[in-house]
Amino acid sequence: MTKLISGFSKLSKEEKIKWLTENYFHNQSETLDIIKQYWNIDRELQQLHDDFIENTISNFYMPFGVAPNFVINDRPYVIPMVVEESSVVAAASLVGKFWSTRGGFKTKVISTVKIGQVHFMYAGNKSDLEAYFHQNKTELFAATASITKNMEKRGGGILDIQLIDKTDKLANYYQLHVTFETKDSMGANFINSCLEAIAQEFRNDDTEIVMSILSNYVPECLVRAEVSCKVEELGGENPQKFARKFEQAVKIAEIEPYRAVTHNKGIMNGIDAVVLATGNDFRAVEAGAHAYAARDGEYSSLSHCEVKDGIFKFWIEIPLALGTVGGLTALHPMAKLSLEMLQKPSARTLMQIMAAAGLAQNFAALRALTTKGIQHGHMKMHLQNILNQLGASEAEKQEITDYFDTRTVSHSAVVTKFNQLRKSKINWIDFLNEDIVRQKLAKINTNSKPIFGKMNGQQMIEHLSSVTQIANGNWEVDVFVSDEKTARRKPFLDSENELQVGFKASFLSEEPNKLKFSSYSEAIEDLIHQVKVFEKVFEENKNRTVVHPFFGELDYEYWKKFQVKHFTHHFKQFGLV
């Protein structure tokens, strides 16, 4: 089947997924399960999400968190944040609380002007072009009257139109540079519609319109956020030393582009999280912010610091073109919830909130860098992610979190501690003890659902029986295991480690086998029988060995070690251990 397709957009969602899974995925059923499990059960809500973009097949979830205790211009806020990096929300929350007792964040909007341009080529006399422009400037405004009518009622609209000569950079290149005020709307569609109307009115036989488009570089849509306090109020063992190092770190970012990029990335960690939560365009915000950071010809820090006369002052000036009406902010239920959480801010107020979030994130990163180092706090915030990957229980998470409260977190250290904890607490199943096996299996039935994997209760029992038959010599699996693989894998059986969730030998099918027995009780009796056969065949021949399809040639003792791990693994699958 070809991996190229015509008319893909015209297919239904189910048809798109079917073609995709058949052509680009090995395990089609598992892929389909993953895609569908992220669908919203509310069909109308799912349809709303499907309509946001084209060729939608599912939703991609991002965590939605909140950072409380922000005080901005003497008003308390809880700031919504959508971000996948674990340290961002925690850092913002800590810094928000820190500054809430030191006067909070002071913010102000410097300007809210946005830019759009009509790019065109003109090869004639410049004075003729200038005359044409001034003669028709009033008509250019008039051409947008129907578009700007509602915006002007809200106090917005076109502020000015200028003719700009760029022929020193590109032959015959000019532009109409248009400034806008869009109030609470981000205004992208409004600006572009105005520009196209202006271009249509301006064009003549001597001008070639290249394109008409807004600019995401908005150096005149600017907001400032600041925190300040007496140096001794910064706290810690040596606040004077901290303030000095902090100021030095910021000044390094002001002059060293390699540092400035990472420095500003930390600022955008906080800003982008709020941009996403409120349904704004984080790509436009990112592009505008980084362009502003390079406005003087060299990339530099967006934030600044000064320690003078015993006062610590830290501030940021950043362009933020945002909206609180229209677009995704009016469509996405979570974006609307975020704006309500922020007490339904105007676009100007939202600019100030985001600037404060960015400054908070920057303060948190610099405080970590200039004290204990970024990894100390960063790895602690990743601790929960590591524990989730390891499949730790809630009790294990709490014990390991407490253990690392005064220790440095690293991935290897967490794994070591986790394994130590599991080693002492694993309740291995004695598969040779019939009473224990029957007692455990009596707690589930044929249709019991697993904690992980796909098998139901009876399929799990029949699986244990089948694998036991390999050792018994009643099921020959055509799999070759080299001596090199055996030597590498066999030591695992001597360890206290468990079979990991997701482990599956290559000889097994992706889907559970069909049931062999007509009842759950028959399946249990067969398992007990196979275990008895297991003991009998090895008792009759002490030197007997049988090739395991993953671990290679095993004797009785090693087969027992495998069976203990295998039974324990599947009993855990159904919460029996």
Check pLDDT > 60 for residue 23. Answer: yes
Give the model confidence (pLDDT) of 25-39 as tens digits.
988 899 999 999 999
Check pLDDT > 90 for residue 167. Answer: yes
- The verdict on whether 134 is a catalytic residue reads no
Which pLDDT score is estimated for 376? Answer: 54
Which pLDDT score is estimated for 510? Answer: 72
Task: Give the three-class secondary structure for 179.
Answer: strand
- Tally of residues, the chain: 577
- The verdict on whether 281 is a catalytic residue reads yes
Give the model confidence (pLDDT) of 431-444 as tens digits.
999 999 999 999 99
Beta strands at 221-230 and 303-308: parallel, antiparallel or unpaired? unpaired
What's the pLDDT band for 279 if we cut at 50, 70, 90? very high
- The verdict on whether 36 is a catalytic residue reads no
What's the pLDDT band for 379 if we cut at 50, 70, 90? low
CA distances from 471 to 414, 467, 490, 573 (A): 36, 7, 16, 22
Residue type, 188: A
Which pLDDT score is estimated for 2? Answer: 63
What is the C-alpha to C-alpha distance for residues 327 and 148, in angstroms, rounded to an integer? Answer: 17
Domain 434-573 in this protein, CATH class: mainly alpha
The architecture CATH gives domain 65-111+222-369 = Alpha-Beta Complex (3.90)
Torsion of CA 431, 436, 437, 440, to 10 degrees: -130
Among candidate residues 281, 462, 498, 526, the one labeled active-site is 281
Beta-carbon neighbour count of residue 49 at 10 Å?
17
Nearest to 358 by CA among 313, 305, 303, 307: 303
The architecture CATH gives domain 114-215 = 2-Layer Sandwich (3.30)
CA angle, corner 238, sides to 232 and 239, nearest 5? 35
3 state SS for 241-310: HHHHHHHHHHHHHHHCHHHHHHHHHHHHHHHHHHHHHCCCCHHHHHHHHHHHHCCCCCCCCCEEEEEECC
CA distances from 543 to 481, 539, 550, 557, 563 (A): 20, 9, 20, 11, 18
Q: Report the Cα 377 to chain-centroid distance in Å.
A: 19
Check pLDDT > 70 for residue 470. Answer: yes
Q: Is residue 234 within 8 Å of 313, Cβ to Cβ?
A: no
Q: Is residue 273 within 8 Å of 83, Cβ to Cβ?
A: yes
User: Per-residue pLDDT averaged across 445-460, rounded?
Assistant: 90
Check pLDDT > 80 for residue 366. Answer: yes
Nearest to 270 by CA among 76, 80, 106, 108: 80
- The verdict on whether 378 is a catalytic residue reads yes
Give the model confidence (pLDDT) of 525-568 as tens digits.
999 999 999 999 999 999 999 999 889 999 999 999 999 999 99
Which pLDDT score is estimated for 389? Answer: 83
User: How confident is the prediction for the chain on average, in pLDDT?
Assistant: 92
Among candidate residues 13, 137, 177, 265, the one labeled active-site is 265
Among candidate residues 85, 206, 220, 254, the one labeled active-site is 85
User: Per-residue pLDDT averaged across 448-472, rounded?
Assistant: 92
Among candidate residues 16, 378, 516, 532, the one labeled active-site is 378
Residue type, 170: L
Give the model confidence (pLDDT) of 332-343 as tens digits.
999 999 999 999
Q: Is residue 38 within 8 Å of 61, Cβ to Cβ?
A: yes
pTM of the predicted model as reported, rounded to 2 decimal places: 0.69
Nearest to 572 by CA among 446, 427, 418: 427
Query: First CA to last CA across the chain, in angstroms?
Result: 46
